[in-house]
Amino acid sequence: MLETKDLTIRFGGHVAVNAVSCAFAPGTLTAIVGPNGAGKTTYFNLISGQLKATSGTVSLDGRLLSGLSPSARTHAGLGRAFQLTNLFPNLTVLENVRLAVQATREGAHRRGLNLWSIWSDHKALSTRADEILTQVKLKAREHDTVASLPHGDQRKLEVALLIALEPKVFMFDEPTAGMNAAEAPVILDLVRELKKDKTKTILLVEHKMDVVRELADRIIVLHNGTLVADGEPAEVIASPVVQEAYLGVAKEAA
């Protein structure tokens, strides 16, 4: 169980995330919605440790993560999609995924040097990397360098690396942003696949309400950094607070 308690961050006088208390159970997909600037990405950054909270706590399975570095939180089981800046742009897609699988397995087992295990590990690493590339539909690109990939394939690779980490918690922040109509369903299918594993907790920031309605078990709404609604998708989408928040976005855009 991932839990935030009174999680808060201030930027100068602005409270971007305001005392958010929420728990996310394994086997559930929670969509986080709210207008631009509501604090959704900042909430993720506080959970993953990219930003330091002004006050409040983050815990996973009862273990306090507050104060830990982002990489220590990753080891604890929090999976945040890699930014492309974390990749090796001149290595191939396959090499990047293999490295991610390797880092995860080494972290998990901390096994000693043993030639037989190194050999069998290499096979196991390659097999696992291959499975993941098939899963995210990047097999055809495995020998291309990351730098040469089109945008949509880079996003798929980000998901591949997230899967390679084998986290307990998957955090997706607008995973289909900037993708075309043909590419977006591939990512959403992946999220749908991940959802079948009832030991995983999934958090998804997504603007498209049809996507949210279909995928989410639960929706929470952030508005001006505050948690203003939490419940079943149909109920939350129909609530005045969501209707207003999205009407607000429409007004701003007009």
> In this structure, are strands 14-24 and 29-33 parallel, antiparallel, or unpaired?
unpaired
d(CA 148, CA 73): 31
Three-state secondary structure call for residue 59: strand
Of these, 11, 72, 107, 241, which contacts ligand ADP (CB under 6 A)? 11
Selection from 200, 226, 169 nearest residue 49 by Cα = 169
Q: Is 56 in the site for ligand ADP (CB under 6 A)?
A: no
Using rule CB under 6 A, residue 49 touches ligand ADP: no
Asked if residue 70 binds ligand ADP (CB under 6 A), the reply is no
Q: Which stretch binds ligand ADP (CB under 6 A): 40-48, 130-138, 195-203, 238-246?
A: 40-48
Give the integer Cα–Cα distance in Å for 152 and 224. 31
CB of 250 to ligand ADP, least distance (A): 16
- Residue closest to 48 by CA, chosen among 6, 2, 102: 2
Q: Where does this chain touch ligand ADP (CB under 6 A) — which range of 30-38, 55-63, 79-87, 114-122?
A: 30-38
Q: Which of 8, 10, 19, 37 binds ligand ADP (CB under 6 A)?
A: 37
User: Cβ(125)–Cβ(108) under 8 Å?
Assistant: no
Regarding 96 and contact with ligand ADP (CB under 6 A), the answer is: no
When asked if residue 40 is in the footprint of ligand ADP (CB under 6 A), the reply is: yes
158: closest CA among 58, 82, 252, 67?
Answer: 82
CB of 203 to ligand ADP, least distance (A): 13
* Stretch of 35-43, 63-71, 156-164, 238-246 lying at the interface with Mg ion (CB under 5 A): 35-43
104 is a contact residue toward Mg ion (CB under 5 A): no
Exposed/middle/buried for residue 138 (C-beta within 10 Å: 0-12, 13-18, 19+): buried
Instruction: Out of 4, 18, 30, 41, name the contact with Mg ion by CB under 5 A.
Output: 41
All residues at 6 or more sequence positions from 136 whose CB lies less than 8 Å from its CB, including other chains: 156, 157, 159, 160, 163, 186, 190
Rule CB under 6 A: say whether 38 interacts with ligand ADP: yes
Nearest approach, Cβ of residue 192 and ligand ADP (Å) = 23
Q: Cβ distance 211 to 231 under 8 Å?
A: no
Interface region with Mg ion, contact rule CB under 5 A, candidates 38-46, 99-107, 162-170, 179-187: 38-46
The partner residues of 189 in beta bridges, in order of sequence, read none
- Give residues in contact with ligand ADP (CB under 6 A): 11, 16, 34, 36-42
